[in-house]
Amino acid sequence: MTVPGDRFVKRRHDAPPGFFEVEAAGLRWLAVPGGVPVAEPVDVSPSQLSTVKLELAPPTGAAADEFGRRLAVTHDAGARHFGVPPDDWDTDGYIGRIGLPHALEPVKSWGEFYANLRIRPYLRSAYTQGAIDGHQLHVFEQVCTRLEAGTYDDPTEQPSRIHGDLWSGNVLWSDDGVHLIDPAAHGGHRETDLAMLGLFGLPHLERVLRAYDEVHPLTDGWRDRVGLHRLHPLLTHVVLFGGSYVPQAIAMAHKYG
Active site residues: 165
Helix residue spans in 102-179 (DSSP H):
110-113, 120-129, 134-148
Percent of the chain that is helix, strand, coil (3-state, to 5): 45, 15, 40
Q: CB-based contacts of 76: which residues, under 8 Å, 6+ apart?
A: 160, 161, 215, 216
Helix (H), strand (E) counts: the chain: 9, 9
Q: What is the DSSP letter of 223?
A: G
Q: Are 81 and 157 in contact (CB under 8 A)?
A: no
